[in-house]
Amino acid sequence: MFFCGTCGIMVRTETNVCPKCSSMLAPAHVSRNAKASLSPAWKQLGKSAKVLLIGGIVLSLVAVATGVTYHLVMRPGRSVYLLPDGNVMAYINFKPMHLMNMDTNPVTADPEYQRFVNATGLRPDRDLENIAISAHADGGPSGDAAIIVTGTFDQLRLSGYVQMQEGVQTEIYGGKTILSMPVKDQTARFCVLDSKMVALTVGPTAASMHAIIDKSAGSGSVPSLYENYYSDVPSASVMWAIVRVPSFTDTAPSSMNLDFLKNSVTIVSARYTGSLNLRGEFIAGNQTDATNIFQAVNGILAMGKLARGQGQNDPDVTAVMNSIEVKQNGNHVVVSAVVPQDLIQKAARTR
């Protein structure tokens, strides 16, 4: 604020020249009461309004922080990025499942499973955080699969259990120990990557295991299926799979033409929001093939409902069937269904 000695007025201006008489202005002293009258609108708010404003800001910050934390917890683990390329890719996040009230008991019916638990101390239903899978699958007898498991386990006991298996051989690659053993006409390979991560591959060569070890050391690229299609996976999915259907030799009966599935991509996912939300998305090469997929899915659902109508109806299964929706948008076909939590808990109790 400035004071004009000629006009005798107070002037708020960015210059020291009076806008009325063009005289030079002098800095003015503003009393405490005057400052209060010129203070920002914040000082004019009442106590209740201030509390509400502060509360709104705090809630907004908490919501943002919760959203970011949830995204970090639900996003895929590092294991996904270590997978070798393939035409099948899948991921299961066990962390949210540990928080579900499933009222389940450990699986102990299988003696082989119990021997594994006793030897390694690893309880898959309790100690696993996530599993990442990739595979080359063309419908033939041979294939190449890779599995990376993240969780809490005893490296020495787990490695010792693998070493006790018949025909185990040892290879050192990239500073890691690879344990290999014959499995039918393939070879299974096992490697401890770090304190929380192990890798298992099945295939004719060690190429997949070597690629995983190289990526764990910082070299290599993100799997192409993940890079190109993970953005289509619904956020916060606890399970998802991406499958690129290869150009296969049509061995189906002549009445079943499956050409429209060739070179398509299928994305299957599950989200837990109190109920289990299942979703499948078919991405076809063109809209005509997508229409064929749309009609085929609707035909399968119609036959399923007809078969259930002729037998005894389970109300839970009927509710799931009635929740199924099929939609087409261009070359995309989306199938969705909802499994109630009561049905999940019932299945867990009768496991």
Q: Distance between CA 269 and CA 224 in Å, rounded?
A: 18
Q: Which distant-in-sequence residues (6+ apart) come within 8 Å of 308 by Cβ? A: 317, 318, 321
**One domain, residues 63 and 86:** no
**One domain, residues 193 and 79:** yes
Q: Which distant-in-sequence residues (6+ apart) come within 8 Å of 159 by Cβ? A: 177, 179, 190, 192
- Does residue 235 belong to any structural domain of this protein? no
Q: Distance between CA 6 and CA 116 in Å, rounded?
A: 98
What is the enclosing helix (H) or strand (E) of 212? Answer: helix 207-216
**One domain, residues 79 and 206:** yes
Residue at which a domain ends, from 45, 68, 91: 68
**One domain, residues 92 and 167:** yes
**One domain, residues 152 and 270:** no
**One domain, residues 203 and 87:** yes
User: Residue 125, by phi and psi: left (phi above 0), alpha (psi -120 to 50) or beta?
Assistant: alpha
For residue 237, the SS3 value is strand
Residue at which a domain ends, from 41, 68, 95: 68
One-character DSSP codes across 157-169: HHHHHHHTSTT-E
Residue at which a domain ends, from 68, 94, 116: 68
**One domain, residues 262 and 333:** yes
**One domain, residues 211 and 87:** yes
**Parent domain of 45:** 2-68
Alpha-carbon torsion (153, 154, 155, 161), positive or negative:
negative
Q: Distance between CA 195 and CA 151 in Å, rounded?
A: 9
- Does residue 44 belong to any structural domain of this protein? yes
**Predicted confidence (pLDDT) per residue in 61-86, tens digit:** 555 544 444 444 456 788 999 999 99
Q: Distance between CA 286 and CA 264 in Å, rounded?
A: 9
What is the enclosing helix (H) or strand (E) of 96? Answer: helix 95-99
User: How far, CA to CA in Å, does 284 sit from each of 56, 196, 300?
Assistant: 46, 38, 18
Q: Tens digit of pLDDT per residue, the chain (351 long)?
A: 555 656 656 666 666 667 666 666 666 554 555 445 545 555 555 555 555 666 666 665 555 544 444 444 456 788 999 999 999 999 999 876 655 554 445 555 578 878 888 888 887 778 889 999 999 876 555 678 999 999 988 888 988 889 888 889 999 999 999 999 998 878 999 999 998 999 999 998 999 999 999 999 988 888 999 999 999 999 889 999 999 987 654 554 445 566 777 778 999 999 988 788 999 999 998 999 999 999 989 988 888 777 766 555 677 778 888 889 999 999 999 999 998 877 777 766 665
Question: For residue 246, which phi and psi values (nearest 5 degrees)?
Answer: -75, 175
The number of distinct structural domains making up the chain is 3
**One domain, residues 164 and 182:** yes
**Spatial contact of 130 and 77, defined as CB atoms under 8 Å apart:** yes
**One domain, residues 143 and 126:** yes
- Does residue 227 belong to any structural domain of this protein? no
User: How far, CA to CA in Å, does 327 sit from each of 157, 160, 261, 280, 287?
Assistant: 50, 51, 17, 11, 13
**One domain, residues 349 and 300:** yes
What's the whole-model pTM score?
0.72
- Does residue 159 belong to any structural domain of this protein? yes
User: How far, CA to CA in Å, does 150 sit from each of 197, 220, 348?
Assistant: 4, 20, 23
**One domain, residues 118 and 191:** yes
- Does residue 8 belong to any structural domain of this protein? yes
- Does residue 233 belong to any structural domain of this protein? no
For residue 46, the SS3 value is coil
- Does residue 236 belong to any structural domain of this protein? no
- Does residue 40 belong to any structural domain of this protein? yes
